[in-house]
Amino acid sequence: RRLLDEAHRRGMRVVLDGVFNHASRGFYQFNHLLELGAHSPYVDWFTVYDWPLNAYGEDKPNYAAWWGLPALPQFNIRTPAVREFLWGVGQHWIEQGIDGWRLDVPAEIDDDAFWQEFRRRVKGANPDAYIVGEIWHEARRWLKGDQFDAVMSYLFNKACIAFFIGLLMDTPLTEGKGYSPIQPFDAPRFADFVDEILALYDWQVNLTLLNLLDSHDTARFLSVARGDESALRLATLFQMTYPGAPSIYYGDEIGLDGGSDPDCRKTMPWGESQWNTGLRDHFVVWAMKDSWLRSTRGRRPPRSKSQWPASSLKGLSSNTLGKRGERTRLLEAS
């Protein structure tokens, strides 16, 4: 409670990471199954294939587990008691003062009615609470106004890597999550792709999307760019002036590198002697400008595809000029 109060006093909002698809082996109800087996009153909370449970052996778990990981038993979302429990968790922490939920792998719960009721409970406790889902692809199904407010825009992430890093890209670092390596974009393709993203959703949804350059599940942008700081600076400039909520992954602002998971989750260096302070100043300046821009553009009416001529972004160019081994990136916007 003190943490929330202090954060709010400083003008900060607190959004919790909610994992509603699966629990852990330490979860009380699952432990009850480990102790009492089929006689546990929580037997329907999980999907058990046979008894006794094999939760700690080296063999494949004999119950439904996320990605087959025995430490992460998956909820049986069809069970009414499970649904009520999870909805109650969502509502409880909003009532305690948190400002929203970031939903981990919500597509794993392939049940619109579940998320519709989750939204009703959360918004009933705080109509301004922010609900953002981790969806890696087009997400119109969840953004009709009855489930999530926004999603993490990995489409935005892909576009920025493809254009601002382009041919400098460390391609193997863009693989994973079942996706093919990202291919570089030239300016016209980048413009078209941005138009496609904006056309996916209503304008009010675009204003709430969580636009990221990287995350705990991806290699860091700076590492994908092979350390080219100018690529990160340009991408940040674009991110801070683009509709939506810019997401800065901890450490990006001081030049923290990191390859694929788990390298991208390394500890934050707190000693300022380890920081790229020039890069940090760049983030601070553009974050301030972003705040000002949002105060002036929030009610701007949406542009249709036809009003965004083939695109205004086609005047945007990112050129890499070689000079004594150094690279200078030029940005020109019309």
Catalytic residues: 104, 134
**How far, in Å, CA of 202 to CA of 204, rounded?**
6
**How far, in Å, CA of 138 to CA of 177, rounded?**
15
Q: Provide the 8-state DSSP code for 164.
A: I
Q: Provide the 8-state DSSP code for 134.
A: -
Residue in the structure block whose two tokens are 């009933």: 124
- The DSSP line for 240-294 is HTSSSEEE--TTGGGT----STTGGGPPP---GGGS-HHHHHHHHHHHHHHHHHH
Tokens describing residue 59: 């063999």
Which residue(s) pair with 75 in the sheet?
A: 46
Query: In one letter, which amino acid is 7?
Result: A
Contacts of 217 (CB under 8 A, 6+ apart): 176, 177, 261, 264
3-state secondary structure at position 193: helix
Can you say whether the dihedral through the CA atoms of 229, 230, 234, 237 is positive or negative? positive
**How far, in Å, CA of 29 to CA of 41, rounded?**
9
Question: Of 77, 74, 132, 70, whose CA–CA distance to 99 is shortest?
Answer: 132
Cβ atoms < 10 Å from Cβ of 85 = 14
Question: Of 131, 102, 82, whose CA–CA distance to 17 is shortest?
Answer: 102
325: left (phi over 0), alpha (psi -120 to 50) or beta: left
Query: In one letter, which amino acid is 119?
Result: R
3-state secondary structure at position 145: coil
H or E element in which residue 4 lies: helix 2-9
